[in-house]
Amino acid sequence: LNISEVTVVGTRVLQGVHAIDNDQQGPFSSVKYSVLSGPHSDYFEFENELEGTLVLKKSLDYESLKQFDVGIRAQDHGDPPKNTDTTLTVHVIDADDQNPKFLDDRYT
């Protein structure tokens, strides 16, 4: 997933995450999605756990983090629930977000 570092928090950055459960139609075949706990899990959340739309919830900065992985889980509503995990690799795209600076504070 390629995301610009100037993407606004709250933006839907990935739609259509989808997992299927081949159990007979009903609660056991219904799937919910979550971001797994990990070093970068605070950057994203699912807009609705029953839909596969991932939302940015923390600002990105190319200068500090260019690429990272986030774990995603799909889980059914069985008792006990069954799940599967996958990894989303995020590439932060650099943007013109730095102001120019003078080398000296004052010139004479």
Kindly list the domain boundaries of the chain, sorted by start residue: 2-93
What's the pLDDT tens digit per position in 12-63?
A: 999 989 998 887 777 777 899 999 999 999 999 999 999 999 999 999 999 9
CATH topology of domain 2-93: Immunoglobulin-like (2.60.40)
Tell me, what amino acid is at 18?
Answer: H
Per-residue tokens: 61 = 């900065």
DSSP labels, 82-102: -EEEEEEEEEEEP-S------
Is a pLDDT exceeding 90 seen at residue 102?
no
Per-residue tokens: 94 = 């650099």
What secondary structure letter does DSSP report for 57?
-
Q: What are phi and psi of 56, to 5 degrees?
A: -75, 125
In the beta sheet, which residues pair with residue 74? 33, 84
Q: Average pLDDT, whole number, for the chain?
A: 92
